Structure 1
Amino acid sequence: MAEISKSLDTALTSDSFWESINILISKPHVINRRLWGGKIWFKNSCKPKTAPFIMPATLHQLNDLVTTDNVDQYKIQILNELNVENVLSNTTDDEVQVEVLLMELLPKNYSDKQAYQVACSWKNKPLITFYDVTPSNQEQKLCPDFSYTIHLNNSHILLTAKTDENSKSFKWLSNTLLPQLIKWGTESKSHSTKSNMCNESLSLVSQTKYYEKYNDLKVKYGKEMVKIWPECTDASKFVYEDVAIAAYLLLLWERDEPSKSKSFVDLGCGNGLLVYILTQEGHTGIGIDVRKRNIWDMYPPGVVLQEKTITPTDTSLFPDIDWIIGNHSDELTPWIPVIAARSSYKCNFFLLPCCAYNFDGSKYQRKNSYKSQYNDYLDYIRQLCVQCGFNIDTDRLKIPSTKRICFVSNNRIYLEEEHTQYSNTIDDLINKGSTNTLQNIEKEFKAREPVERVKNCTQIDKSIVNSIVDCISKYLLEGCLESETTWSKGKTAEISELIHLIPKEQLSILKSECGGIQTLLKNNHNIFEVQSGRVGLRYPKTINEVNLVTRKRKFNKQTTIKVQQKPCWFYNNHPQGCPLSDSTCSFLHVKENK
């Protein structure tokens, strides 16, 4: 095959080029959606055995999967093929010209085969070549099956490979990977001063063991649970998120004491799936939540779930429990380390903060305007954990959520005989900066209501909703005449403009029930469309358009969206009526009684 290439203009420097390559190697899953992640088996600084150094076009494939038993053998084989040798620790940087690593690419789909790549970097070029060395019996689909080189040459980044120019893999490298490398390298400078609490994922457990454990639990519990999920929440997200957290906790507990069963309490356990998995895997615990979920009745008898309100008083302590779990525990989040600290000297906790709350259950207000609300709250909670006397580890979970930074306690910073004395200081910690005493804070703590309030506009009087819709639509249709030959959608307006049109008493009702005007507009999406903060009337949808959306969303084949069931708003309210005919409009063309 002929050598083909692709070149892009770039402002990357040598340093930013290697920063981008480092992201590609350490986090390949962020660019390759087929991957869960990767594992580096070895990484060696080398120098050429002879000059000039020429990288080979290909490397031999490995004979078998890489293990701790054969990795040294493969290292010798790969370095010999590259014609390089290891350098001593006291070798100068000038002599270290080449870096060689062997990486295992792990598939997101557990039934797929893993792949192996060798990356050979020529530091003073800058240039890197990737070789596919996956055993031939693997038939991997995770990375290009040909060797390719990425080279920064002055103001160009150049990709070269010996493959067919119509190769899907080469097109992916050209159209996806190269632009992303440029983007990473460009962003690296602007983000260099950004302070992140935790940059590495799964730093407290073995990534390889986690990958195996997560996929085992996914097969064992996840797939069947998704099928029978009775809640109205997204089954795929919530089920696999709890499977991931369970895998993490199981490995965390195995790391500390491999053969010992742990006792735990999950405060704010929600659907109880985490409690179910941990219990089935041999640990003993209970889940407590203010509301019972439909799925609770589907768990076996050994899964203990309690419906009750937890208030942070001295009665809400767990002296015989090894671990307190706070997984998106909302109002209880700041109390998790406090409850663990007061329960016993040996009690630890796992805390995954999400919504930001104070001790009294009120919403947390950001203290540092230079940080996001989430990062500022993480700082606050971490400081609180330390002040409660814990050694704290911070980690980033691999879960389908933007809130994935967790805190894990690692015993205490004080001796056991100081426990009573140290616990008394927690009262002062909670009272600090508050006009209330600890007793008053505990007494006035606002837990969520046992019956969840519906706050989505559905509880607002229909006449108020119709009045607001009428007010907004008339404003957007100002100047639109019935005599015009072309049907008009009217003008668009900023949401801030529309707010001034609505009576204050109606705005107050909106805010108390659904958070504001945006929810009302969303609920009336058959009339309005919102784009980049501007509101306008939408063009009515035809029956065919509605059916097409149904198919794209992959509904069950027996499920269809009913059309022409409700009166058409445009037919009744637009000065020019509905632009669609009676037979094509997805709504019914009948006059409403007003």
Structure 2
Amino acid sequence: MKESSKSIQTTLTTESFWESINILITKPHVINRRLWGNKIWFKYYHQSEFSKYELPPCINRLNDLVTSDNIEKLKTSILNELNVEYQVSDIMSNAEAAIEVLLMELLPKNYIDNQAYQLVCLQKDKCTVTFYDVTPANCEQKLCPDFSYTIELKNSHIVLNAKNDESSKSYNWLVNTLLPQFIKWGLETTNHKTKNHKTKSSICNESLSLVSQTKYYEKYNDLKLKYGKEMVKIWPECTDASKFVYEDVAIATYLLLLWEQDGTNTKKSFVDLGCGNGLLVYILTKEGHIGLGIDVRKRNIWDMYPSNVVLKEKTITPSDTSIFPDMDWIIGNHSDELTPWIPVITARSSYKCNFFLLPCCAFRFDGSKYQRKNSYKSQYNDYLDHITELCKDCGFKIDTDRLKIPSTKRICIVSRGRIYPENEYEEYCNKIDDIIIKDSSNTSQDKNMANDFKARESLEKVRNCTQIDKNVIDSIVDCISKYLLEGCSNSDSSWSIGRIAELNELVQLIPKEQLNILKSECGGIQTLLKNNHNIFEVKAGKVGLRYPKTINEVGSNPKKRKLKHRTIKIQQKPCWFYNNHPQGCPLTDTECSFLHVKMT
């Protein structure tokens, strides 16, 4: 069997080496994008007398998929093949062991792919870890290398030894992707530990710690096939269907598993405050739970849901009337201005009511933006700490967890009942007014915070420079294009594209009153120029005129080809260059994708 080896010099210590190994074993999906995650079926520790033990070069593959019924039998077989005496009771601890053996199942991100199994042997005294592919021969897997390989820290070098040809795709992945990231993890761990303790976040780092990962994986893929694929096809909103659909499928999966844990098998009642597209309400309702969604603005997709999916267009104004005494759960999924109110509304609804809160944008009780208190932390982490303390002040037992969703804001807070007995319920509710006043940016002692609360408007303003007066847009386009074409005349021998200018340079050309109009729009001058992409090309903060596109170029555009159901518009709008460039359009009437007609 051919062997390949790669050695990289490093400053990793023994401790940081094992930190990197821990990440590689517990979170393989962060480096291997084909994985959703993994499941460790067993761990077994050797005593120190085995420190000189030599591992075999290869291990036989498993005879079958691993289940809870056959795991003990497979464990005995594996340890016998490793020539290790098997003890029924694993009395050794990780700290005491010289060698650790574990079997893990790699779970594919694509549900139709086969899972893979890796046997991992950690030799603590040698700073060596060996990986064996033991996937059953009848299960073709493409999740991990199908050969054994070893990662070792030796003489200030990270050494990779593999039982494979160095030209193979898997070996090159190990060398070019895994090893550099492995070293980076170790260095980041070392640097993190040398920083001031104030930079450390109290936020959890483990994903899905409150539910079974195996059950989550199975249910998520079930719901994904059941609701996700079809919903992506018919998605009528202007938002990214893949992101929003599968994110809500993931949150629904998490809540369903969370609700199953009380062992009562009863259906839950819920209200989703700020429900947005309503997909979460739809899935939870279809799965048998009873609830409703409320949002300040109706979405297009609401009309596509069946009649038993209850969605209400209503502004939630926090007050004593905004409580839900009949609900088991209050959901705040990216609820923006309502985020700090979710624990308050839950607390006032009933003693047995709980909440699921996924904070995103940072707001205070009165709807004003939250100002960071701890400069050592990010705005997001500081706000999470603030909301966590607020939940505790309202009398809740809480847990935090990290969701597996396509969002950077994925830390959720889940309540688990109260820290006080039910006979103190009224007393705690009375304390909440003082908590609200203390947290508000309003310095008055007015306890009716509903008067100060600023809910978002029911009609969403379009702020992408498309609502600006056309005369203003034409004036700015004319100003910038003339500047870019300075010195260009129709007497030049070749067609000129003009100069390239910095965005900051162009800002100085625009009158102040027009700039003020642009500043009120998201994106400003850059968005306006990109909206006129038939004239300008904006790249890396620089602006120039775009060379006109031919009919063939427009027709062969890969982005256009994807929109098969749409007719590509050609020669329907007047050519800007034909009318405004000193030399006219460089393309002929039949070549240009725009219409060559003189504008009066």
Q: TM-score, normalised by structure 2?
A: 0.91
**Does structure 1 residue 28 correspond to structure 2 residue 28?**
yes
Aligned to 2:177: 176
Q: In structure 2, give the amino acid aligned to 1:384.
A: L
In the alignment, which of 471, 474, 480 is matched to residue 472 of structure 1? 480
Contact 1:45 1:86 in 2 (8 A): no
Contact 2:437 2:447 in 1 (8 A): no
CA–CA distance in structure 2, aligned partners of residues 492 and 85 of structure 1: 74
In the alignment, which of 358, 362, 366 is matched to residue 364 of structure 2? 358
In the alignment, which of 383, 394, 406 is matched to residue 388 of structure 1? 394
Aligned to 1:195: 200
Of the structure 1 ranges 255-264 and 405-414, higher mean CA displacement relative to structure 2 is found in: 255-264
Map 1:384-463; keep pairs closer than 5 Å: 384-432=390-438, 434-463=442-471
| Superposition RMSD in Å | 2.6
Q: Tell me the CA shift for residue 438 of structure 1.
A: 4.7
CA–CA distance in structure 1, aligned partners of residues 270 and 377 of structure 2: 34
**Does structure 1 residue 104 correspond to structure 2 residue 110?**
no
Q: Tell me the CA shift for residue 554 of structure 1.
A: 6.1
**Does structure 1 residue 349 correspond to structure 2 residue 365?**
no
**Does structure 1 residue 158 correspond to structure 2 residue 166?**
no
Q: Could you say what secondary structure the match of 1:514 adopts?
A: coil
Aligned to 2:223: 217
Of the structure 1 ranges 166-175 and 320-329, higher mean CA displacement relative to structure 2 is found in: 166-175
Unaligned stretches of 5+ residues in structure 1: none
Label 1:57 to 1:507 Cα distance change in 2 as closer, same or farther (>3 A).
same
Q: Tell me the CA shift for residue 407 of structure 1.
A: 0.7
Q: Could you say what secondary structure the match of 1:84 adopts?
A: coil
Contact 1:361 1:447 in 2 (8 A): yes
CA–CA distance in structure 2, aligned partners of residues 585 and 184 of structure 1: 53
Q: In structure 2, give the amino acid aligned to 1:568.
A: C
Give CA-to-partner distance per residue, 1:268-325, whole Å, 9 cap, x none.
1112111111112121111111222222222222221112111101111011111000
Label 1:387 to 1:51 Cα distance change in 2 as closer, same or farther (>3 A).
closer
Q: TM-score, normalised by structure 1?
A: 0.92
**Does structure 1 residue 133 correspond to structure 2 residue 134?**
yes
**Does structure 1 residue 528 correspond to structure 2 residue 533?**
no
Q: Could you say what secondary structure the match of 1:425 adopts?
A: helix
In the alignment, which of 536, 555, 565 is matched to residue 547 of structure 1? 555
Aligned to 2:66: 66
CA–CA distance in structure 2, aligned partners of residues 33 and 120 of structure 1: 23
CA–CA distance in structure 2, aligned partners of residues 371 and 580 of structure 1: 56
Label 1:483 to 1:395 Cα distance change in 2 as closer, same or farther (>3 A).
farther
Give CA-to-partner distance per residue, 1:186-211, whole Å, 9 cap, x none.
33333444534121110110100100
Q: Tell me the CA shift for residue 229 of structure 1.
A: 2.0
Identity among equivalent pairs (%):
72
Map 1:499-510; keep pairs closer than 5 Å: 499-510=507-518
Q: Tell me the CA shift for residue 226 of structure 1.
A: 1.8
Q: Could you say what secondary structure the match of 1:256 adopts?
A: coil
Contact 1:48 1:84 in 2 (8 A): no
Q: Tell me the CA shift for residue 342 of structure 1.
A: 1.0
Q: Tell me the CA shift for residue 254 of structure 1.
A: 0.5
**Does structure 1 residue 516 correspond to structure 2 residue 517?**
no
Of the structure 1 ranges 526-535 and 460-469, higher mean CA displacement relative to structure 2 is found in: 526-535
Give CA-to-partner distance per residue, 1:381-406, whole Å, 9 cap, x none.
22221221112211111111111111
CA–CA distance in structure 2, aligned partners of residues 136 and 42 of structure 1: 21
Of the structure 1 ranges 367-376 and 420-429, higher mean CA displacement relative to structure 2 is found in: 367-376
Q: In structure 2, give the amino acid aligned to 1:71.
A: I
Contact 1:527 1:538 in 2 (8 A): yes
Of the structure 1 ranges 168-177 and 108-117, higher mean CA displacement relative to structure 2 is found in: 168-177
Q: In structure 2, give the amino acid aligned to 1:587.
A: F
**Does structure 1 residue 566 correspond to structure 2 residue 573?**
yes
Number of corresponding residues: 591
Label 1:18 to 1:584 Cα distance change in 2 as closer, same or farther (>3 A).
farther
Contact 2:50 2:99 in 1 (8 A): no
**Does structure 1 residue 592 correspond to structure 2 residue 593?**
no
**Does structure 1 residue 83 correspond to structure 2 residue 83?**
yes
Label 1:3 to 1:73 Cα distance change in 2 as closer, same or farther (>3 A).
same
Q: Tell me the CA shift for residue 540 of structure 1.
A: 3.9
Of the structure 1 ranges 559-568 and 375-384, higher mean CA displacement relative to structure 2 is found in: 559-568
Contact 1:48 1:85 in 2 (8 A): no
CA–CA distance in structure 2, aligned partners of residues 461 and 556 of structure 1: 30
Q: Could you say what secondary structure the match of 2:206 adopts?
A: coil
Of the structure 1 ranges 435-444 and 349-358, higher mean CA displacement relative to structure 2 is found in: 435-444
Label 1:202 to 1:472 Cα distance change in 2 as closer, same or farther (>3 A).
same
CA–CA distance in structure 2, aligned partners of residues 150 and 92 of structure 1: 19
Label 1:503 to 1:90 Cα distance change in 2 as closer, same or farther (>3 A).
same
Of the structure 1 ranges 46-55 and 513-522, higher mean CA displacement relative to structure 2 is found in: 46-55
Q: In structure 2, give the amino acid aligned to 1:175.
A: N
Q: Could you say what secondary structure the match of 2:221 adopts?
A: helix
**Does structure 1 residue 237 correspond to structure 2 residue 243?**
yes
Aligned to 2:284: 278
Give CA-to-partner distance per residue, 1:538-577, whole Å, 9 cap, x none.
444444443343x257614454532333333344444454
Q: Tell me the CA shift for residue 267 of structure 1.
A: 0.6
Label 1:178 to 1:259 Cα distance change in 2 as closer, same or farther (>3 A).
same
Aligned to 1:145: 146
Label 1:69 to 1:371 Cα distance change in 2 as closer, same or farther (>3 A).
same
Of the structure 1 ranges 371-380 and 31-40, higher mean CA displacement relative to structure 2 is found in: 371-380
Q: In structure 2, give the amino acid aligned to 1:97.
A: A
Aligned to 1:335: 341
In the alignment, which of 492, 506, 518 is matched to residue 498 of structure 1? 506
Q: Tell me the CA shift for residue 34 of structure 1.
A: 1.4
Give CA-to-partner distance per residue, 1:209-254, whole Å, 9 cap, x none.
1001111111122122222222222222111111111110010011
Of the structure 1 ranges 423-432 and 533-542, higher mean CA displacement relative to structure 2 is found in: 533-542
CA–CA distance in structure 1, aligned partners of residues 510 and 526 of structure 2: 13
Q: Tell me the CA shift for residue 33 of structure 1.
A: 1.6
Label 1:587 to 1:100 Cα distance change in 2 as closer, same or farther (>3 A).
farther
Contact 2:366 2:452 in 1 (8 A): yes
Aligned to 1:301: 307
In the alignment, which of 285, 293, 302 is matched to residue 287 of structure 1? 293
Contact 2:51 2:98 in 1 (8 A): no
CA–CA distance in structure 1, aligned partners of residues 489 and 189 of structure 2: 54
